[in-house]
Homo-oligomer: A and B are copies of this chain.
Amino acid sequence: MSQWKQVQQLDIKFLEQVDYFYDDNFPMEIRQVLAGWIESQDWDMASNHESMASVLFSNLLTQLERQCTQESNFLQRHNLKRIHQQLQGKYKGNPLHMAAVISNCLREERRILSTASMQEQGPLEKSMQN
């Protein structure tokens, strides 16, 4: 199961934490429509290598354009178009920053998933891990 699918199955108290760090810097629409592709890239490494960050930025825009073309729902297409424009404006001169933002979001998701998983375990399992 993709990390994003696991996130969406979290309890509301954890989802509210996820809500908190998704904003215009990395709109949640992108996380949703490109979930598999996003999770298969190394954003952590890209956030330290400008040429890699540039390639990922360019690929992300291409993928978004493709999603726009395929999207039949008017509102969704409108949102994807606007996000495409916003990202171009925001990260064209600084793809390293985009890679750092995405890397950070994925790391925060993993942290929340891990916390949620620990809380689901009973006291016996926890003590066995320690």
A residues whose Cβ falls under 8 Å from a Cβ of B: 8, 15, 19, 22-23, 28-29, 32, 74-75, 78-79, 81-82
Contacts and interface: CB of A to CB of B under 8 A. Distances in A.
Q: Which of A19, A28, A74, A75 has the most CB of B within 10 A?
A: A74
A82 B19 CA distance: 9
12 contacts: A8-B74, A15-B74, A19-B78, A19-B81, A22-B78, A23-B82, A28-B75, A28-B78, A28-B79, A29-B75, A29-B79, A32-B75
Contacts of A82: 23
A27 to B, nearest CB: 9
A75 B19 CA distance: 9
